[in-house]
Structure 1
Amino acid sequence: MKKHFPNKVVHGGLLQLGQNNNGKYTADYSASINPWPPETGWKPDFKRIKDYPDDTYTELKEEISTHHGVKTENISVGNGSVEIIRSLFKAVLNPGENVLTERHTFGEYRFSAELAGASCSHDPATPHRLRVICNPNNPSGKILSASEILAIADDCSEKGIMLYIDEAFMDLADRDESVADCGYENVIVSRSLTKSFAIPGLRIGYGIGSPSVTKKIEAARLPWTVNFLAESFAVSAIRNYDRLEESRIKIRTERDYLCNGLEKLGLEYHPPSANYILFSTGILSSELTQKLLEKGFYVRNCTSFGLPHSIRIAVRKREDNERLLEALRECLP
């Protein structure tokens, strides 16, 4: 019997356009990257690229351990948080099992579940092995408090269900609702440096969970997937985590500016909490996405999230934000 493979997930990012932008300047609002990443003082030692990385990533795990107040044995690392998702799902799911997710959320959860032979459900009444919460959620921006997450964790623990919390955007959220240091046996939390330090080309993420689950994730991960440059940057970045506060302040100011502009255009948006905004278009989002692209703006068509009349935009600097709002005014019916 021929093995079935699910379709890959659609993501944002300007390079997804290929040749469609015809080489002209396009403001990328499709990928929610921090427009004000803090300086880290990173000085890469290119002589080290002749050596294999340390696949135990001891130095990086020690920095993560210090920052989050957890033991190194609770930490796994990956080539972006997506690798943590893939490795976790591969390690803990059996064919035929279910994963509970939100209906409109990051598509890699479904894809990773299907690669493991499992399925995704949005109905809490459906028996499930693993529950997934993206906090803040992508694309809606909805954020749950730490107390709400821990109440869910307690309920999952009583039912023998694992709980995975994706905190990829927590560093850029208005308030810190992280449960990375909660110490629950049934909770796994992943974090990402990609968005907060604007390094999608380097790719670095990590997970925090019980030693038994962490060991499985590390075993499922391919060796050396985090290259030396990514690891050395991550060490510098984590030492400068506190400098993200300035980014959050600037993001909040520009996000408020964009929200006010959307209101003036009569567009409804979900209450945002991080560096992106989901709003309803009133028309097919594919139509509006194409019109905006022709004006030099690449926004995230949310049809792949199951939201064919919604668009997600990143928060960028004022000049681009002013131009985007003007382009929206011209493109709307």
Structure 2
Amino acid sequence: MKNTSLKLDFNERADSQPAWLKSFQLNVTDLWRYPDRTELENQMASDMGLTPGSVMLSNGGDESIELLYKHSKLNSYALLIPEPCFSQYTHNQRVWQNDTVFTPACDDLSIDTKTLKDNMSARQWVVLTRPNNPTGEYLAVDVLLDLIETAQQKGAWVFLDEAYVEFANEDSPIDYTAYDNLVTLRTFSKAFGLAGARIGYLFGTPQMTEQFRKIAMPFNVSRANLQLAVAAWQAKDEIKAYCQTIANNRETVKQLLSNNGLKSFASKGNFLLFETNPMQKQLFAAVMRKRRIQIKTELAGLPNAIRITIPENITSLTSALQLVLAPEVLAFDMDGVLIDTSKSYDQCIIQTVAILTGQSVNQTDIEVTRAKGGFNNDWVLAAELVKQQGVEVAYESVVETFQKLYLGDDLNLGLVAQEQNLLLDPLKQQLFNSQPITAIVTGRPRKEAEQGVAQLNIKPKFIISADDVKAQKPDPEGLFKVLSATQADRAWFCGDTVDDMQAGTQAGCVCIGIGANTAAATENLYQAGADVVLENINQLETLL
């Protein structure tokens, strides 16, 4: 398809066009005439083994759902709907204000069939969705028939929503003609790939279908869309092959999630639903957005859930999922991320400015200047703050003063002694004693970088210091050195500055902002490319 983005949030056929549609040509001869659904409806009924009058075409499946609510409202019928459910049911409930009972789901989000049966009563429509949206749950035949028959015994009717049924590849469908209390919804939007054309259909006994037909708009499906529906219906064999591909891909993605500790719900639709934690959910959304993949992250009543439509070509999707779930390289800035340098490097900056200018700066001045970007090197930051005081001082003098304060001498203990580790066990052991590959990419000189590694008692595979690159962050040179050496495609970079996030973004890394202590600082990191911002490095465990 021409659109380079991958739309996987609305369960459409997003990344491929049906073969039959590529050769489809619209016949415009009779577009001046009002449409007539009858011929196609009768053909569909015949093909499905139903009697004439059993099928009614609708303006997408959404019109059929609206007709259900309209029919129930006009006749004072109640509705019984198990949760979780498709949003069109809750939308129509808000519009029509029907007498409706929503039964809560089981703890695993499956339909609570016992509660559903207990709430059935006469003059009531029971809504069953198979496969269910958003979970993909597919009611087994014996369970479905039991619900239909229980409803029949209690004088209730069943509205069976099968918008996704083609993806279930059901070998032995139920006998739809056996029940006079059943109406079934299907659509051309999903498997047939015609969501933009808005064509759906209902079927049941002619008497049941007529109840919906008589309250539908008389010309609800256009002549152009009827032509599309005819062509799609004639290509059912091609659709079966496509649905099998989606089913296979669904299992591949499900296994990928499972291999990385995420259990998806058992789905027979063209989508998967899984739950995670708030931070990881935010990371999924950010990484997918950067890669122009749209996923569903806002699902009513499911705050930690994500739903992903399964495309025909899953390469881009699985690559993005692996980037989130299975990084090959974890790279870290050191200062402010792994080691607290607020009492060492930052104090060196404050005292260097005082010694060289006789004027004072504070932590806020440091953070404001650092947030502008281009000051990943604290010598450069100190020189900038000296300059801001209106004093001309050689850069070499700034470095010499700073280093004397930091390292100390025979008479004075350097401020380096004030540094405290931020990275704690057990995360430290998890990160540096196993896969993935770890790297330190820091603005420290080599000697001080190695000193920090020793203080942390860690053994990263790579240490890239200021002495190892020609250009420091925000230039991504240091990160590119690691990626080149490892031949890795999937890397994360954890940093605490705008420069870190810009470098990580340019290197194609997932960018994890660390330690922003104000809303403004957090927003600065996001603006610079952070995918998620954590309060401290130890929260990284929630993403792994």
Which TM-score tier does this pair reach, normalised by the shorter chain?
0.7 to 0.9
- Is the aligned partner of 1:110 residue 2:104? no
Which position in structure 2 is the counterpart of 1:271? 266
Whether contact under 8 Å (2:162, 2:186) holds in the other structure is yes
Alpha-carbon distance, 1:88 to partner? 2.3
Matches within 5 A, 1:70-85: 70-85=50-65
Q: How far does the alpha carbon of each residue in 1:116-147 deviate from its partner, in whole angstroms, 9 at most, with x for none?
A: 33123215344551111110111111111333
Pick one of 14, 18, 29 that aligns with 2:8: 29
Q: Any idea what SS the aligned residue of 2:31 has?
A: helix
Which position in structure 2 is the counterpart of 1:9? none
- Counterpart amino acid of 2:11? S
Q: How far does the alpha carbon of each residue in 1:167-226 deviate from its partner, in whole angstroms, 9 at most, with x for none?
A: 000112232564473341110101111101111111111001222332221121122121
- Is the aligned partner of 1:91 residue 2:86? no
- Counterpart amino acid of 1:82? D
Distance change >3 Å, CA 95–CA 70, structure 1 → 2: closer
Pick one of 303, 309, 312 that aligns with 1:308: 303
Q: Once structures 1 and 2 are overlaid, which stretch shifts more, 293-302 or 178-187?
A: 178-187
Distance in 2 of aligned mates of 1:96 and 1:328: 50
Whether contact under 8 Å (1:99, 1:131) holds in the other structure is yes
Whether contact under 8 Å (2:6, 2:292) holds in the other structure is yes
Distance in 1 of aligned mates of 2:189 and 2:316: 21
Distance in 1 of aligned mates of 2:84 and 2:280: 15
Identity across aligned pairs (percent)? 22
Which position in structure 2 is the counterpart of 1:121? 102
Distance in 2 of aligned mates of 1:257 and 1:269: 12
Alpha-carbon distance, 1:244 to partner? 2.0
Give structure 1 stretches of 5+ with no counterpart.
1-23
Distance in 2 of aligned mates of 1:73 and 1:136: 26
Q: How far does the alpha carbon of each residue in 1:286-316 deviate from its partner, in whole angstroms, 9 at most, with x for none?
A: 7346413234221012432x11111110111
Alpha-carbon distance, 1:158 to partner? 0.6
Matches within 5 A, 1:278-317: 278-283=273-278, 287-288=282-283, 290-291=285-286, 292-304=288-300, 306-316=301-311, 317=313
Q: Once structures 1 and 2 are overlaid, which stretch shifts more, 203-212 or 141-150?
A: 141-150
Whether contact under 8 Å (1:284, 1:308) holds in the other structure is no
Relative to the length of structure 2, the TM-score reads: 0.53
- Is the aligned partner of 1:166 residue 2:161? yes
Alpha-carbon distance, 1:321 to partner? 2.2
Higher relative contact order (CA 8 A, sep 6+): 1
Relative to the length of structure 1, the TM-score reads: 0.83
- Counterpart amino acid of 2:228? F
Distance in 1 of aligned mates of 2:279 and 2:90: 24
Pick one of 40, 53, 67 that aligns with 2:47: 67
Q: Any idea what SS the aligned residue of 2:53 has?
A: helix
Distance in 1 of aligned mates of 2:74 and 2:241: 44
Which position in structure 2 is the counterpart of 1:143? 138
Q: Any idea what SS the aligned residue of 2:315 has?
A: helix
Q: Any idea what SS the aligned residue of 1:49 has?
A: coil
Whether contact under 8 Å (1:289, 1:300) holds in the other structure is no
Q: Any idea what SS the aligned residue of 2:132 has?
A: coil
Alpha-carbon distance, 1:114 to partner? 4.2
Whether contact under 8 Å (1:289, 1:298) holds in the other structure is no
Whether contact under 8 Å (1:285, 1:303) holds in the other structure is no
Pick one of 129, 135, 142 that aligns with 1:134: 129
Whether contact under 8 Å (1:277, 1:312) holds in the other structure is yes
Alpha-carbon distance, 1:251 to partner? 1.3
Q: How far does the alpha carbon of each residue in 1:138-161 deviate from its partner, in whole angstroms, 9 at most, with x for none?
A: 111111133322221111011011
Larger radius of gyration: 2
Q: How far does the alpha carbon of each residue in 1:43-62 deviate from its partner, in whole angstroms, 9 at most, with x for none?
A: 320232222112xx111102
Distance in 1 of aligned mates of 2:97 and 2:171: 34
Which position in structure 2 is the counterpart of 1:250? 245
- Counterpart amino acid of 2:9? S
Distance in 2 of aligned mates of 1:66 and 1:166: 21
Give structure 2 stretches of 5+ with no counterpart.
104-114, 326-509, 511-530, 532-541
Q: How far does the alpha carbon of each residue in 1:37-89 deviate from its partner, in whole angstroms, 9 at most, with x for none?
A: 643353320232222112xx111102211221112211111011111111122
Distance in 2 of aligned mates of 1:227 and 1:25: 30
Structure that is richer in helix per residue: 2
Aligned length: 307
Distance in 1 of aligned mates of 2:54 and 2:178: 9
Alpha-carbon distance, 1:101 to partner? 1.5
Whether contact under 8 Å (1:79, 1:226) holds in the other structure is yes
Pick one of 213, 220, 223 that aligns with 1:228: 223
Distance in 2 of aligned mates of 1:110 and 1:95: 20
Q: Any idea what SS the aligned residue of 2:127 has?
A: strand
Whether contact under 8 Å (2:120, 2:156) holds in the other structure is no
Which position in structure 1 is the counterpart of 2:205? 210
Distance in 2 of aligned mates of 1:162 and 1:113: 18
Distance in 1 of aligned mates of 2:35 and 2:263: 48
Distance in 2 of aligned mates of 1:130 and 1:289: 38
Q: Any idea what SS the aligned residue of 2:177 has?
A: coil
Distance in 1 of aligned mates of 2:179 and 2:205: 7
Distance in 2 of aligned mates of 1:274 and 1:218: 28
- Is the aligned partner of 1:196 residue 2:183? no
Distance in 2 of aligned mates of 1:63 and 1:39: 22
